[in-house]
Amino acid sequence: MIQTIYAEVPREKIIYLERDEFINWKEKSFRNTLTASMSKHGFRDPVYCWYSSKKWGNKIKIIVGNNRMVVAKELNIPIVPAVITNFHADQFPLEGRVLKTDDEIRALFHLPNHKKLHIRRDKNGDIDQVTPPNFPTVQQHYV
């Protein structure tokens, strides 16, 4: 059974990608703006994760929000708001609020009605990606 939930997860329970361009300050303006936003507000949008997928097994893996995780670690933000698609909810249940509709997911975001907030479903109707607007295009709403 596939289930998508909202949960607030300890940062250390999530694995994420540390992109070289972001970590080594090649994207300095983007990083500075994201850091300023998160310093002031924390997470304004949840990250999107997979749990118990074929590729990542029984780990909560960031699919969208890797840069925010890097900044959260630097700022020592301990709890991460996350929308998590659990691919084996019957075998590996996670605690959290079950999300069934796109409106329930949109309500979790700072800009819930933005045309670039994308919720994708697979052929069975299960959520397989949640992507907020590209941060540099909406940063004025976050800082």
Tokens of 92: 């590996």
What is the C-alpha to C-alpha distance for residues 133 and 117, in angstroms, rounded to an integer? 5
What is the C-alpha to C-alpha distance for residues 83 and 46, in angstroms, rounded to an integer? 6
Nearest to 132 by CA among 37, 47, 49: 47
Q: What average pLDDT does the segment 79-84 reach?
A: 98
pLDDT at 4 over 80: yes
| 25-80 tens-digit pLDDT | 788 888 999 999 999 999 999 999 999 877 777 789 999 999 999 999 999 999 99
Question: When comparing pLDDT for 15 and 139, which is higher?
Answer: 15
pLDDT band at 135; cut points 50, 70, 90? confident
pTM: 0.91
pLDDT band at 94; cut points 50, 70, 90? very high
pLDDT value for 115: 83
Q: How far is CA 111 from the centre of its chain?
A: 14
pLDDT value for 59: 84
Q: What average pLDDT does the segment 7-11 reach?
A: 96
What is the C-alpha to C-alpha distance for residues 82 and 96, in angstroms, rounded to an integer? 10
- For residue 95, the SS3 value is coil
Percent of the chain with pLDDT over 90: 66
Summary mean pLDDT of the chain: 91
